[in-house]
Every structure is written in C-alpha cells, then in structure tokens.
Structure 1
Amino acid sequence: MNDYLHSTIPNLKPFNYERHHDSHFINQDWVLVNGISKKKSIYTFREDNILEISRKDVVIKTSWNISLQNIFTIETEDGLIQVKAYFKDDDILVLNHVNKNEFALYINITNYDDELSSVDDIQDYLKNKYRKKVNSIIYDHEFYYIERSEEFGPFKVEELAEKVNSGEISGYCFVRDVNEYDYSNRLRVFDLINEL
C-alpha cells in the first residue's frame, strides 16, 4: 500500500506525534482536496477525539482515535476506516487508507485568507506556495556557471543577474547548484532570474 502512495506523492514525512499533533494537527481546518469540485468539506480534528466535518451550513460530528503505531481510526459515513497520516509539508496532510490503494489529501486553511473551493483554487494555492518556496531557496542559494568551457562561481542569483545586466555574461550560460556535480539539468541563468 505504501509503494502506491509514495510513488503518487513522493517525499512524504510520516506523522510524528511529538512534532505534528499539537501544532500541526489538532484544531486545524483541513480542506479535503479529493472531490472538491463536487462539494467542499472541511475537517477539524478536536482534542477530545471529535472530528468535525463542515459542508456548507452543515457540521457533522464523528470520532477519531490514534494508536501507538500512528494509525488513525476514523468514523466516516462509510463506517470505521483506518488510515496512516503523512505530511507533504506542514500544511499538506495525506491520510492513506491502510487496507486499500486510496488516500485523501488535505490542505490546512487555518491561516489562509483566500477561498479554497474549487480545483482552480487548489492549483493557484499550490502554484503560489511552491513559487514562494522556490524563490526563497533560489534567492539564498549559490550556483556555478559555465562559459566557454570554463567554470565560475559560486554566485547568488542576484549576482548572476547583475552580470547578465552589465553584459559580463550571457543569460544563456548553463548553471549548476553548488550541490550538483554537472550541468545535466540544462538550467540557464535566465531560468534562475525568471524565478525571482
């Protein structure tokens, strides 16, 4: 079952009670991404093992429990199910059905001001989230560039942009991250600049 999930959504971190329970899980509003085009559902796991599922003007109260192996038991409309919890990021929760190749994906909207009610809203949210993440990584990171078979660097993207603007180097020079060993990603200076 885990192979299916991890091939579909790579780089998941298992739920860790000490790290996630109080700060990332309890009393947080989680929008269910699966089926959002048909109906919007918000799941809130309360401390007293009450699960509130909000849909439009209706709030359904049911129950949930967690075992020592981080297996959650949740009472749903379809009966009792067992899931394992994973985080893609602190605000993206995945509940993987223990006995089936099925999972539910949730986004934490507790501190999110815009509406998440459609597939387009979800796509915009994810696009903006990862653009900010990439920008912060690129902004602080250093890269080597290669020009006329000679390697230079490392430089931050701002420094590379200044070199391009002054005409010192071409924006078409290939770059590599300081942690990479070659230029096989075919990334150019212009690609980095466009992400800023």
Structure 2
Amino acid sequence: MSDYLHKTIPNLKPFSYERHHDSHFINQRWVLVNGISKKKSIYTFKEDNILEISQKDNVIQTSWNINIQNIFSIETEDGLITVKAYFKDDDILVLNNQNKDEFALYINTSKYDVELNSIEDINTFLKEKYKKKVSTIIYDHEFYYIEQSKEYGPFTVETLAEKVKSGEISAYCFVKDVNEYDYSKRMRIEDLINEL
C-alpha cells in the first residue's frame, strides 16, 4: 500500500479473493464518491469480467480483470488502469491507482435503502452508519475504571451508567477498554454514556 493512501485512509484491509469476491464485491452497487457533486456514477462489477457504469440514464459496459496478486485491471474511458483494492469496512471500497498517487473511494449501497446523490448525503450516511456501529460496540464491550488510584472492573457501559446514577461512582472517573494498557486516552465514564 502506498504511503499516500495509508496516510489518507488508515486501517485499510487488502482485498482478499476468498473473503471479498463473492460476498462483498460481485453484483454490488458501488457509488463513486470522487466527483459525486458533478455526476453520480454507480459501478457494478459483474461476473464474466463485465463492469457496468451507470450515470443517470446512461449505462456503459466495460471490462475488469484480477490477477493472482489481487491487482485489478479496469478498462475506463481514460484507458486501461491498474489498481489495488482495499476495504475500509464491508461497505467502503478503495481502488488505489498503481501508477499515480490517487485513489477512488466507493460506498456500497446494495444493502441500504438510501440514495447517495451529494457530498451531504454521503456525510449523513457515514455519520449514521458509524454512530450505530460505535453504539453497538460500546454497549457490548467492557471497561475498567479508576477511582482514587484503584482500578475496578471490567464492567459494561450499562453497569457503569447504573453505578453513576446511584451515586456509587463519579461520571468523571477515567475508563479504559479491556484491551488497553493504560488510561492515556483520558476517556471518562460520561463520554461512554453520551455515546449510547
């Protein structure tokens, strides 16, 4: 992965044919984020190496291929480009151009009943998506808290919220995830409760 891409979008997972091809890639409606304010384009990678690009009432069919190193060759109106694919999560695909410091970002709308037609739509979609994800992770996870130099836990956020409500502990106690080594993130119980 190029340093440029890694710095711009951290924590990308490389495309894995076995994991991603059938379930996350083929026949999915990928909305191109780059340039959406000018024109909306939907990319659908189909079997038999057909790439369908839809723009308003216009549908273009072109081709794509993948080699053994999971590097894609895609025929575009600008010619043949070579890209490496990464996933930010199951719904966000990044195609990194192998010849230039540029990439294309796509959002999979196949599983959602939402129209992405503008930057504002994309911002709203991503905000809601990650807000739900964070709430679910926080709700199911456990945390330690520290009070008067002593560590307690681990407890779920729900339990911590009950302890705060009953006055047993302060909402301003520092917390750490069960997988963290220290309290350097300076997160408080109050911060967790606000995310629920």
Query: TM tier, shorter chain?
Result: over 0.9
Q: Percent identity?
A: 79
**In the alignment, what sits opposite 1:115?**
115
| 1:29-85 CA distance string (max 9 Å, x none) | 000011111111000011021111111111111111111111111111111111011
Q: Give secondary structure in 1 for the equivalent of 2:48.
A: coil
**Which residue is 1:164 aligned to?**
164
Question: Which residue type is aligned with residue 130 of structure 1?
Answer: Y
Structure 2 distance, partners of 1:13, 1:110, is 20
Shift of 1:135: 1.2
State the match for 2:154 in structure 1. Answer: 154
Partner of 2:114: helix, strand, or coil? coil
1:175 is aligned with what amino acid? V
CA RMSD of aligned residues (A): 1.0
**Structure 2 equivalent of residue 75 of structure 1:** 75
Residue 90 of structure 1 is matched in structure 2 by 90
Shift of 1:88: 0.8
- Written as runs of structure 1 = structure 2, the 5 A alignment for 1:1-196 is 2-196=2-196
User: Is the partner of 1:107 in helix, strand or coil?
Assistant: strand
- CA displacement, residues 113-140 of structure 1 (integer Å, 9 cap, x when unaligned): 0111111111111111111111111111
Residues 141-190 of structure 1: per-residue CA shift (max 9 Å, x gap): 11111122222111100000001111111111111111112111110101
TM-score normalised by structure 1 residue count: 0.97
Which aligned segments of 4 or more residues in structure 1 are displaced greater than 2 angstroms? none
Please report the TM-score for the alignment, with normalisation by the length of structure 2.
0.97
Give the residue type in structure 2 aligned to 1:167.
Answer: G
Q: Mind listing any 5+ residue stretches in structure 1 that lack a counterpart?
A: none
Amino acid at match of 2:69: Q
